[in-house]
Amino acid sequence: MSLNVSNLTVHHGAICAVNQVSLAVPTGTLAAIIGSNGAGKTTLLRALSGLNKPTSGVVNWMGETITGVKPEKLVRKGISHVSEGKSVIPELTVRENLELGAIWRKNSREMKVSLDQVVTIFPRLGERISQRSDTLSGGERQMLAIGRAIMSKPKLLLLDEPSLGLAPLVVEQIFQTIKDLTIQMGLTVVLVEQNAMGALKIANLGIVLNLGKVVAVDHAQALIQDPAVRAAYLGY
Partner 1 sequence: MQLLNTFLIGLTAGAIYALMAIAFVLVWRSTRVVNFAQAGMALLSTYFGYEAVSRLGSFWIALPVAMIGGALFAALVEFTLMRLLVKHASSGPIAGVAPIIATLGLLGVIKSVVTMIWGGQDLVIVAPISNNGFKINETTTLVFSPLKLFILVVVLILLIILTILFQKTNLGLALRASAHAPEIARLSGIRVDAVRTLGWALAGAAGAVAGLFQTVNGNGNFSPDSTEFSLLLVSGFIAAVIGGLDSLLGAVLGGLFLGIAISFVLMYVSSGLFFIAPFVILLLVLFLRPQGIIGVKVGRRA
Q: How many CA atoms lie within 13 A of 89 on its CB side?
A: 11
Query: Does 164 interact with partner 1 (rule: CB under 8 A)?
Result: no
Query: Does 96 interact with partner 1 (rule: CB under 8 A)?
Result: yes
Query: Does 141 interact with partner 1 (rule: CB under 8 A)?
Result: no
Distances (CA, A) of 76 to 104, 215, 218: 8, 32, 31
Query: Does 69 interact with partner 1 (rule: CB under 8 A)?
Result: no
Query: Does 89 interact with partner 1 (rule: CB under 8 A)?
Result: yes
Query: Does 72 interact with partner 1 (rule: CB under 8 A)?
Result: yes
Nearer to partner 1, 25 or 145 (CB): 145
Please give the backbone phi and psi of residue 30, each rounded to the nearest 5 degrees, phi first.
-100, 110
Select from 7, 26, 27, 70 the one that contacts partner 1 (CB under 8 A).
70
Query: Does 100 interact with partner 1 (rule: CB under 8 A)?
Result: yes
Secondary structure string (H, E, C) spanning 95-131? HHHHHHHHHHHCCHHHHHHHHHHHHHHCHHHHHCCCC
Query: Does 155 interact with partner 1 (rule: CB under 8 A)?
Result: no
Select from 29, 52, 80, 142 the one that contacts partner 1 (CB under 8 A).
80
Give CA–CA dist 100/134, Å, rounded: 16
Contacts of 132 (CB under 8 A, 6+ apart): 90, 91, 92, 93, 94
The region that residue 235 occupies, defined by phi over 0 for left and psi between -120 and 50 for alpha, beta otherwise, is left
Nearer to partner 1, 16 or 89 (CB): 89
Task: Determine the size of the site formed for partner 1 (CB under 8 A).
Answer: 26
Query: Does 148 interact with partner 1 (rule: CB under 8 A)?
Result: yes
The region that residue 7 occupies, defined by phi over 0 for left and psi between -120 and 50 for alpha, beta otherwise, is left
Q: How many CB atoms lie within 10 A of CB 15?
A: 11
Query: Does 71 interact with partner 1 (rule: CB under 8 A)?
Result: yes
Distances (CA, A) of 226 to 22, 197, 208: 21, 12, 12
Nearer to partner 1, 71 or 138 (CB): 71
Choose one: 33-41, 52-60, 101-109, 213-221; the region binding partner 1 (CB under 8 A): 101-109
Query: Does 129 interact with partner 1 (rule: CB under 8 A)?
Result: no
Select from 48, 88, 119, 156 the one that contacts partner 1 (CB under 8 A).
88
Give CA–CA dist 146/178, Å, rounded: 9
Q: Which residues bind partner 1 (CB under 8 A)?
A: 49, 51, 70-72, 75-76, 80-81, 83, 87-92, 96, 99-101, 103-104, 106, 134, 148, 152
